[in-house]
Structure formats: C-alpha cells, structure tokens
Structure 1
Amino acid sequence: MGIESHPLQTTFRPGDAGELRNKGGRCRNCDRARKGGEQFSVCKGCKTAVYCSEKCQREHWKDHKDMCKYSRVNEELLAEHSGAPGAGMPNLVELKSLLRDFSEIHRPSFQTMLLAKLRLLGGVDAVLGRGQQVCLVPLKYREPGSSGIVNPALTFTYTNMVLLPLDRVLADPQGTHAPIVEGWNASASLRERLRGVYAVEPGFVDIMPVMFSPLVGPTQMGYFPVYRLSEEEPREQNQNQLELLSKFIEIGVVLRQPRPDKAPILGHMKDLGGGRKWEWRPLVDWNIDPEWKRAKTTKERVKLLQRKMAEAHPSA
C-alpha cells in the first residue's frame, strides 16, 4: 500500500504475502473509516483497495484502474520469478511482503527524514523549483538473528536518501529506475486524490514519490506529502534529526500515535508468538520522559533507546 491517508498499522505478520496489509484502511473513494467491526470489500484485481460499498467501488474505478493494472502486472511478474534471489535470502514474494511491512512500519520516520533532507537542501520551494523530484531510499536485506525470527522493523538496513530529478528518470523508462517510471505513470489519479486530502493541512506543497529500493529484489513505491515550515530551523537541528531517525530505523524504534488526539511517541514491535504476529508497544514518551529530556545529544538518546530496547526484548 502506498503512503496515503489511511491509519498507520500497528499489527504485522511477517510472511503474510496477502496484498491487503492495512486491515483498518479507509474507503478509497469516500475516505470513510470503518465503524466497529464493519468489514469493507476488497478489489478482486489488486487486492489492496478497500471500499465501503459497491457504489463507491464503481465510482472509484476510473481513478483506480491504472494502479490496479500496475499492481496486478507486478504480482504476475513476481509469481513467474519467485525463486530466492540469493543464498540465505527469502524468495521474491516474501521479500516484497517484508519490504512492504518495513516501509509501513517506519513511515513516520521516513516522512520526517524526507522533510529534514529537503530543508538541508535549501527548503521545499528551492528543491521543487528545480523540477519534480523522486526520493530514492536504498536498502539492504538484513538476515534475522540466530533465532531465525523475523522482526518486521529490522528486516532492512538503511543508509541515505537520494533525490533524483523526475524528468531524468522518465527519460530512461527501461533503465535502472524503471519501477519509478511505471509507478509514476500509473499513479496520476492517486496523486491527485492525495493532493486533495493533504491540501487542507498548513504548509502543504505537493506529493513526492518515494521508492524503497533494496539492492536485490522488488521495490516499494509510496507518495509522501511535503510541507514548508513557517519558520526556518537551524541546519544543525535538521542534521541531528536525520541522524537520530536513522538510528531509530537501525535499532527498530517505531514512531506511532497512541491515540489520534495524542502526539507521536517512541515504541517497538513486540513479538506475540514465535515471530508470527507483532504489535506496536510504547517504549519512551519523548514528550514527558525525564530520562529523554536529560539526554541532550543524539549519542545519549540512542544509548537510552538501546537500553530500553534491551529491556523490552531480553532474549534478543
């Protein structure tokens, strides 16, 4: 699932190759949330889009059909080439599932890092003034520990974000970044819908495509909103933010809101049974935690988080 207006997932099941990842997703047409235990129908083509009614599904088809076809073609390609890409690695279908979960788990961190990166490059207006950009997030598969249990927050390692001019990427549709070209061409209606969703938020500028790209295996496309700040932040603050959030991803710290009306806090993915089911749990409320407030540097905060993670995962 792309980066949309849907609620963030808090439950993950590694190895689940089902297409519908976010079981709490809103209707793709009217954006209505589910009531109680209400079940929405799922598009039989891509198995990712959910709808509250047949009427909404019919109305949305004109906007959804390109992305639906794109998703189905990708699935067919994976099914045809589902063998393991290398010794000790999952097969391509499993890798796609792990990548989808990893990018969804760390969505708030990657979103915040993208904004910090844009500010370091001169600000959203300066960067987009040079033309539409694509954010490339290179990743590398990280094998599970000796237990063999796959923590969905720790399946890939991250190094750096790279911004590429979209026109240069589109000029080479058969090249290295062909998935970006395909995703961009198929997502026109989706991007327009997302612009409408985010347009009411202060400082919103545009949607930026983001491609999570492992060295080996499938890629995952997402679409992040970008904003301009009303006040500039010091360069050092943006750099520290990038470094700290990178560490979150490295050690498996996961940002989530405990409730829609609360600010995000730091958490972790808790194993609820032999690695078959993981759920988000709070770790540190950085808004009020006295230890966090006493830790002034990135190094001190990372050390605190590592200790908290060791306490939360004593057998890891």
Structure 2
Amino acid sequence: MPAEADTTSQPEIGRRKCEKCNKGQQEGYKLRKCAGCSSVMYCSKECQKESWAEHKTFCKRIKTDGYLQAYRDMKAQQFGYESAVALSQAMTDFTEAHAWALQHATIAHVLLRSGPSMDIALQEPRTEMLRFRFACQTTPDTPRAQRNPSTTFKLLEYGFFPFSYYMDGFSHNNELIGDTLQLCRDSHEKNLKDLKKRRPDYVGVVPVMYTDLTISVQLYFMVPIFRPPRSLTIDNFMKASLHDFTRFCAWTINAGIPLRAVNDRTIPYYGRPGRVVRPKGKGWTWEPLFDDWGDYEEDRVPCGRLPGLAEVGLMLPPGALMHLNRETRPFGYDSTVALNQAMHEYTEAHQWAIHSTILVHILLRSGPSMAVARQEPLEDVLRFRLVCQSTPGTPRSHRNPATTFRVVEHGFCSLAPYNDGPPQNRQLCAEMLTDLKTYHEGILRTNNPHYVGVLPIMYFVQGVSILQFSLFPVFRPPTDFPMGRGMKAVLGALMRYNSYTMGTPFPLRAADKRLPCYAVPGRFSREKGKQWTWQALFDDWDEYNAGRAGCGRLPGIEELQLELPPGALMDFYSMLWGTDTAIIGRYVILKGTSIRQQY
C-alpha cells in the first residue's frame, strides 16, 4: 500500500453545485439558476454577488447571442440533450468525473513545456492556452439513467494551443478571448495577494479550456501552478515519462476508468483507478477498483487486468508514473540522483549474482551459441525489476548496500513498447542503440574469438521513474555442450539461488580471484568513518556443508528445493566456462567495466 486509503464517502458526481463556493444539493443547499444565462447555479445571493465580476461577461454574451444559442440547442438535441446548457452540464459532469487525470495531465504538460521553472504560467502577453477537446458519445436513444458521467464524452486531443486560432475568426471569438485573457490577469493578481501567502511555491496561472466537437461548448479554468517540491531534471527519460503519463491519463478518460487520489491529505498525486456506479435510487458515485498499483502489477487485485491498458505501450507501469513528482521521498532519498546512486551500489553489491543470472537467461534462451546477444534488429532486452526497501526512518549509516533494494522479477521483454511510444521514448532507445553500436565495434577490434555481441540490460525500480540501461558484452563458453532437460534444470536452479541471494544480506562474490565463477556468500559491514566492505562468510562450500563454516545454516536455502546444493551449482557453473583462466579473467573484467561505464 502506498498509503492508508481515504475511506470517507465519495461525493456524488453530477449533483449541482454553487458556482462560487462549490456547496450543493448533497449538503442540503437549495440552488437557483442565474436568471441571465441559466447555465450556472448559486446557493445564495451573497455567492452570486461575489461571483458576478467573473461571470458577468459570459452571462451577458450568452443572453445577447440568442440565434447562436438556438442553433446550439438544436445540435445538442441530436445527442439526446434538450438544450446546449444541458449538454454543457453533462460535459462538466464528465470533466468532474475525470478531474484527477485532467488536473495532473495539466501539470505534466506545463513541465514538458517550460520545465521545473513552470514559467509558462507567467507568460505575458499570453499567446497559448492548454486545450482538451472532447466529443459527445450519447445518442437520443440513451436513457438518462444510463448516462454514466464517466463515459458520456471521449477525449480527442490535448495540448497547448494558440489563442490566435480563435481570435482570427468571428468578432464574437475575439471578445471571448479578450475576456479570458483579462480573467487570467485578474486571477493571477488575486492569487498574488491571497494564495502566495499560504503557498510561496505559487508561480502563476495557466488558462485551460475544455471544448467539445459537438456544439463548441467552451469551459475555461484559470489553473494555479506551483513549482515542484524538489529539483527536477527534465532529461530525455523524464520527458518520455511525462509524455507516457499524459497518454495514460488520456487512456483512463476514454476507458471510463476515472482516477482518484488514494488519500487527498497525504499523497494526492498517487491516483488509483475506479468505476462510476449508480446504486438503485441514488446518484452516480465513484468506487475504487484497488488501492495499490503494486498489487495490480503482481496480479493481486480482484478486478484482474484492466482491458486495453497493455496495448497503450507505456514505458513504465502506472505505479511508477504516479511517483514522477514525489517519487523518492517515501524511500528516504532527497532526490532521484541519490536513489539512483543507491541502486548502483546495490547492483554492484550483487554483481556476481546479476551477471551469472544474465548469462543463465542467455543460455536458456539461445544455448551456448548465445545468439540472442547479436539480434539484428534488436527486439528483446533483459529486464530486472526492483523494489526499494529503504524508508525515511532508515538512517543513512544503516543503509546496507546489499539490502536497500530487492529484485522481484527478471527476464526478457520486448523493446517495442518503449520504442513505439512518443518521440521521447524513441529518442531514449535510439541513444541506447547508438551506445550499443559504439561499444560493440570497440570489442570487435579486440579480435576475441569468444565474443558474440552486446545485450542491453534494463533496470527499473517499481514506483519510481528511474530506468537504467547497461550494456553487457556476451562471450560464448569455450566449449559447446548440449542443452538437455537436465542442463536446463540445473541452470534454472542456479538462477533461483541467485534470486534468493539478491533478496538477502548475503551477496555472492568470488572469494578466490583465480576462480571467478565459484562464488561464496558474504556480508557487508562498516566500521565507523569507513566504507561498506564485503567479507566472506566462508571460503569453501564443502566446509559449509560439513557444518564447519562457523556461520550456521543460511536461512531459506532449504525452502528453495534446489536440484543441486549451492556448492555443486558453483562447481557446475565453473565447469561451463572451462579452465582457461586467461579467457575467464578477460571476460569478467569486460563485464565489470561495461556495467560501471553505464552508470
């Protein structure tokens, strides 16, 4: 669970609310329509008076444009609404149902446009607004009782759009945009007086327009923009992640799966999916499908897989996208740089297990030819998924590099979802492929007869927008051998044992440099004022098996039910790579260099 879910009852969607104070029928207030336009409602004369300065321009225009209103009413009736006002209210209900996705997609668009300074919110003169364009999906045959406010419209397009597009048309549009720009200035000045005192991170406002393809309903909002709570580096990966986040938000809107914060008070940025339902005799309300995206990613939710989500082709899973703005604080790290360094130290601590696991995957995939390392074109990469186990309460001095993370999944995955997404995704993959080519050509020049190719290794942390590629040079074993059922079973046992060690404080290392393929478990310790260092628990598995290692039995090994004990697995693994220590030595050095060069 990312946080304790907010179990308070959800407000009914579509209930009329006061235009000024947002109180409404659910709280027992009696609302009255504005007599001038009939498009908004107020709970009292006081609220109507306070709102008049902002509302009067639009109210007068609607009242005077009678011919246009009649045309819009006729168009609205083609979709089953008695008037344009009714269709406009339906669109308001729809955007209310999807408020979380629209609000956070707006923040992502601002970050993409102007970076962490968010200075587009201070643009003067204003030349752009953020536009979300919808199309109505109802028909006259759709009964009112079945008009689910989360599915009545479809999002067609979104992004920053020039005001000039509207100002070059009718004089009516020029006046409307002029009023919008003035409202933008007025809102900013008011926020500087009131909001800035409470929120010193306030930057400015961004005009956002919701419009529909049907009758050109235009709903304008002056959205206050705040700087991110921590420094962000908007590099290619972050841009790709933000683009993915906007695509994910658009998918939830069009799939009728509105997002809501798990808890508005503690982590309002972490959205969980739900459905809008209508119990008999009651109004439309939102109900969560689950609270934790981690449970969804591990198939532990009763709703199963969300239909269509896999086809979106996201670079990161939704849980990781949710943490783009405040991703490292739950783990006790000040920045992605700090968490990135901790991840690097973890992978170095478990380097032997990671490297041998990679080789086992390659052998199981393509046998001793190791041909998967020379894919042309590259289609699959090897991916390690990690979870961070640190918390804000973990003192830095206690963050053992072997236990700060845990590998929860590893295996081959397609590069296509990362390469077929937005331009930023393709650029990230293109940069990796360029580095791969350069690295491959460099190793070819060594004329090593055992060299096969370079395999990209992807590491990402669940719930965090950190994605790392390392380039792993692959060398075939010095002798060929058959990949029968027994061979595969033993290799699988070695992989299971490696996975076990990567979740324990006992990382594997080669205790004897002359035997780099024979690893024993050890423990990291740290003397005051010094670095973490690895010390072997024992040097020989035979000593451990005989009970003479001095460390007792390692917890959890028996439960693995390995085909061979760990010592025999090490002997077997060493045998695969022969006895030519010169070849093995060059191989291990190249592996270590490749990993370190990529961080």
Between 1:95-104 and 1:80-89, the stretch displaced more is 80-89
Residue 293 (structure 2) pairs with residue 284 (structure 1): no
Q: How does 1:255-266 map to 2 (within 5 A)?
A: 255-257=259-261, 261=265, 263-264=267-268, 265-266=272-273
Identical counterparts, % of pairs: 20
TM-score, reference length from structure 1? 0.67
Q: Which structure: larger Rg?
A: 2
Residues 257-286 of structure 1, C-alpha deviations (whole Å, 9 max, x = no match):
577535454322102349x94212222223
Q: Which residue of 2 aligns with 1:110?
A: 102
Aligned to 1:272, the other structure's residue is in SS state coil
Per the alignment, residue 129 of structure 2 pairs with: 134
Q: What are the Cα deviations for residues 228-276 of structure 1, in whole angstroms up to 9, with x where unaligned? A: 32322522221221121111101112233577535454322102349x9
Conservation of the 8 A alpha-carbon contact between 2:121 and 2:206: no
Quote the offset at 1:306 in angstroms: 3.5
User: 1:118-156 CA deviation, whole Å, 9 max, x = no partner?
Assistant: 222232225855752211212222247x97632211122
Partner of 2:306: 305
| One-letter amino acid matched to 2:240 | E
SS in 1 for 2:131: strand
Partner of 2:60: 69
Question: More helix by proportion, 1 or 2?
Answer: 2
> 2:157 aligns to what SS in structure 1?
coil
Separation in 2, partners of 1:150, 1:258: 26
Shift of 1:61: 4.0
The aligned residue for residue 203 of structure 2 is: 205
Rounded Cα–Cα distance in structure 2 between residues aligned with 1:179 and 1:102? 27
Whole-Å separation in 1 of the counterparts to 2:88 and 2:243: 31
Separation (CA, whole Å) in 1 of partners of 2:161 and 2:172: 12
The CA deviation at 1:201 is 3.3
Q: What CA distance in whole angstroms lies between the structure 2 residues aligned with 1:38 and 1:92?
A: 27
Counterpart check, 1:251 vs 2:259: no
2:277 to 270, 282, 286: 270
Unaligned runs of 5+ in 1: 1-8, 14-20, 296-301, 309-316
Change beyond 3 A, Cα 1:88–1:272? same
> In the alignment, is the contact (CA less than 8 A) between 1:180 and 1:221 conserved in 2?
no
Compared CA separation, residues 63 and 211, structure 1 to 2 (3 A): closer
Distance 1:59 1:151, change over 3 A: closer
| Alpha-carbon spacing, 1:303–1:90, altered in 2? closer, same or farther (3 Å) | farther
Report if the CA contact (8 A) 1:64-1:190 is conserved: no
Could you say what secondary structure the match of 2:243 adopts? helix
Q: Following the alignment from structure 1 to structure 2, what is the Cα–Cα distance between the partners of residues 179 and 253?
A: 37
**Residue aligned with 1:102, SS:** helix
The answer on whether the counterparts of 1:173 and 1:181 sit within 8 Å (CA) in structure 2 is no
In structure 1, what is the equivalent of residue 12 of structure 2? 11
Asked if structure 2 preserves the Cα contact closer than 8 Å seen for 1:116 and 1:241, the reply is yes
| 2:122–2:204 CA contact under 8 A, matched in 1 | no
Distance 1:147 1:61 in 2: 36
Match of 2:75 in 1: 84
1:191 to 1:307, Cα distance in 2 relative to 1, 3 A: same
Change in CA separation of 1:81 and 1:170 when aligned onto 2, cut-off 3 Å: closer
1:63–1:190: 8 Å Cα contact kept in structure 2? no
Distance 1:33 1:81 in 2: 29
TM normalised by structure 2 equals 0.39
Q: Structure 2 unaligned runs (5+)?
A: 1-9, 310-599
The amino acid across from 1:231 in the alignment is S
Which residues of 2 match residues 90-105 of structure 1 at below 5 A? 90=81, 92-93=83-84, 94-105=86-97
**The 10-residue stretch of structure 1 (181-190 or 245-254) with the greater mean CA deviation from structure 2:** 181-190
Preserved CA contact (<8 Å) 1:253 1:266: yes
Residue 39 of structure 1 is matched in structure 2 by: 29
Paired residues in the alignment total 277
Higher RCO (C-alpha 8 Å, min separation 6)? 1
Question: One-letter code of the match for 2:110?
Answer: L
Residue identity opposite 2:42 in structure 1: V
